[in-house]
Each structure stands twice: as C-alpha cells, then as structure tokens.
Structure 1
C-alpha cells in the first residue's frame, strides 16, 4: 500500500499498547486511514456523511450505508453491516437491498423496521450489549441527546454507537449523540469518530470536552456539516488530552 501522506501521529503509543503508526494514503479517488493492530491492520474508508467502510482481518464492515449501492463501487464487499439508528441518513432500505445480503446488526428500533426477509440475517443489539463477530468484540454504546431541546432527535435508550475491538485496538464510531456518561467513561480508545452538527448532535465545544474526558489516541470529526472543525481541533489541542485530530481532507463529513 503506497503511503502518500504521513500524519506524524506518534503520541500515546504506550497508552494503547502497540506501535502507534496510522497512515493516510490514497485509494483511487477516496482517502483512507490505515491503523496497525496486532497481526495486521485496519483500514477505514470514508464514504460520506456518517457512512464508512472498515477493512478488518476478519472481514469488511459497512457502517450506516446510505445513498445507493453505487456509493460503494470500488470498495471491498462487506461481511457485516452495522446500523446505528433509524434516521434516513443512517438507515436506508434501498441501499441495504442493493448491497450483498450479509449479516446485519442494528439497534432494536431499526431491527423492527426491517422487512421480514432481511430479518433472517439480522440481529438487534441494545445499549450495553456485546457480541463476538468477525473475530472482534462489538459493543453497543448508548447514543442519545442530553440537551433538553434536542432530546426529540435521539431519545435515551433507542440508538447505538459501537466500539469495535480488533487486534488489541478499540475503535469507537459514535453514531448520532451528544456526550453520554457511557461515552465519557470509555477507555483505551485508539480512534474515535465523533459527530458534531446542530441541532442533531454535539457542538464542537461538547465534542472537544468529550475528547478531553475519554482521551482517544486520535479522533476523526464526521457528520459535521456546518461545524467549525478547525475550531474543534484547536479546542482539542488546548484540552490536554494528547489526542490527535484527523480532519477535512480525509473525511468528507456532510
């Protein structure tokens, strides 16, 4: 895999227990982030908005695929699809029907909305549950609003974020959420994907405060339409977490 750009991420190696050498590199017309793990690597491909593909040694995972099957042309086929919640920018039946009929894991509210034929390959995970799949541990982390006037968007107990433990590394995809107690209590996270757009998720200030609390080795802003992610990076730098911020050129946001 040719390396076309090095991020210079060298902090927190001792904290995450393995050499800390993620790389940004070219993949056709997409960016991708390569992260070393025990015995191999995990490769993250942005798609758009909150959708991404994750190559792991056990198989490829699509997270919140939307926008039609053509959005995934050129990417390796999935072995697993994860869905965080029911909103149309995260859960899109036509896109799911256009993708290979692989195992699907979602929160219970999405599972209830699936066609009966699709439920034969699907399972639901409630907040706090964990499963073993594709050689990794998958944990469902509560994802919800905490500010009173935003609770209408993501109520407590319905939606999931996910922590994927692969080859000794923990990767957190937050879904749509503000900082929850469970998020703030996370530990040993190598890479976190955090949303920050109003009125649906976090402000950049909330996101930076969350980073200061759970201290991921690195963080990628996603689902950030209209937010000042450079300001987020500045606030993270002032927050003393030591977390690196990977922004803009790598993830299209939206």
Structure 2
C-alpha cells in the first residue's frame, strides 16, 4: 500500500486499485488538488479532521468518490454514507471495517462525540481518529496519534503496543511544537517487530 501523509490526521491510501482519503481537516494541506478518489472518509466532526470549507470542492473534483462519515458529522454534509461501528463497507476493491464509536474523553465537562475508526483492507491500514480503540484484526500499518488534548504520550505507546503493527506511522502531530520528541519515545518504547516510520509530508511512500 502507498500512503501519503498530508499532515496531522489526513492520509491518502492507494492500494493500486482504490484511493481513499481519510480526514482532510483544517490542520492538513496538499489534499485539495487530489483526483481519482474512490472515497473520502471522516472519523469525526472536529475541524482538524474535516475542513468544511474545502470539502465541497474536493468532492466536486472527485465525482465518483463516496463520502463516508460518522453520525456526528452527517448533519453537516450532503449525501453521506453514515458509518457505524460494526459496518463493513466496500470501497472499490477494498473492504473497510468501521470500529470504535466514541471520541476519547478530553475533559468530563466536554460532551463526548461519535468517532469512527477505519480498518482498511483487512488490516492493511488502521486510522483510529481521535480514540485509542484496539480492533480485533491484526493491523499491518497503524496511523498512530502523536499528540492531542485527550492523550498522553504514554497512552499512545500503550496503544501501539496493544495493536502491535508492523509499521506505526505517526499522525495527529500538528498540536505538538516538537513532534520529534514523541517520535523518539515511540522508537524507544515500541513493541518488538514494529517499525516507527514518520512519513515525509505530502510524499507518496510505499509501506
């Protein structure tokens, strides 16, 4: 699978026959000119995961792309497919399993919103959104959250250890002044058999 990280939570997955863009949000850049997408998938309604101003033009440039969103995002977009935990979607030649269901807790005074994680291609890539839900499937490549108001670095390490991917690709890093500090902890504390691989922003990488 080829992966492009457009910064923060936004990744493009290209299996060779299917192109899926996940979480084109306001902290990411470079996804705006993409074409030939089969799906745009949103994990939850926060602006750093879905840029409401850029999404319409992206969909217009990709008329065959299926828009897949969580229940919380659905009222704010047109003609979505609403993904719920337990759903299994077919995007082109690729299967996507929907997991999780809730955003991680930021603070007890902030309401918890829906969050859907996407296990793409029978575990080829897992994007958890803003949660640390461990799926039942073996995961080859994990989009590993690096920093967030809802997470400590140690929790990210424990999540990586629980999932035990072949490759952990750090994402959700835009809130950190120096994400390399988190990456260093990931490298030092990774489980046996896992490679931590930060991707060059905007560059296609075979993983």
Task: Give TM-score scaled by structure 1 length.
Answer: 0.67
In 2 relative to 1, CA 150–139 (structure 1 residues): closer, same or farther, beyond 3 Å?
farther
> For residues 10-159 of structure 1, what are the structure 2 equivalents within 5 Å?
42-67=1-26, 71-72=30-31, 75-99=34-58, 100=61, 101=63, 102-114=65-77, 118-119=78-79, 122-142=80-100, 144-145=102-103, 149=107, 152=110, 154-155=112-113, 158-159=114-115
Task: Report the Cα offset of residue 73 of structure 1.
Answer: 5.7
Pick the structure with more helix per residue.
1
Q: Where do 5+ consecutive residues of structure 2 fail to align?
A: 203-207
8 Å CA contact retained: 2:27, 2:48: no
Pick the structure with more strand per residue.
1
Structure 1 residue 235 corresponds to structure 2 residue 189: yes
Alignment match, 1:38: none
8 Å CA contact retained: 1:197, 1:223: yes
Task: Report the Cα offset of residue 230 of structure 1.
Answer: 0.9
Alignment match, 2:196: 245
- Give the ranges of 4+ consecutive aligned residues of structure 1 lying more than 6 Å apart after TM superposition: none
Task: Report the Cα offset of residue 250 of structure 1.
Answer: 2.6
> For residues 212-227 of structure 1, what are the structure 2 equivalents within 5 Å?
212-224=161-173, 225-226=175-176, 227=179
Task: Report the Cα offset of residue 89 of structure 1.
Answer: 0.9
> Could you say what secondary structure the match of 1:193 adopts?
strand
| Higher radius of gyration, 1 or 2 | 1
Q: Deviations over 1:128-158 (max 9, x none)?
A: 2212221111111115455573683644xx1
Number of paired residues? 193
Return the match for 2:118 from 152, 158, 162: 162
Task: Give TM-score scaled by structure 2 length.
Answer: 0.80
Answer 1 or 2: higher relative contact order, Cα 8 Å, separation at least 6: 2
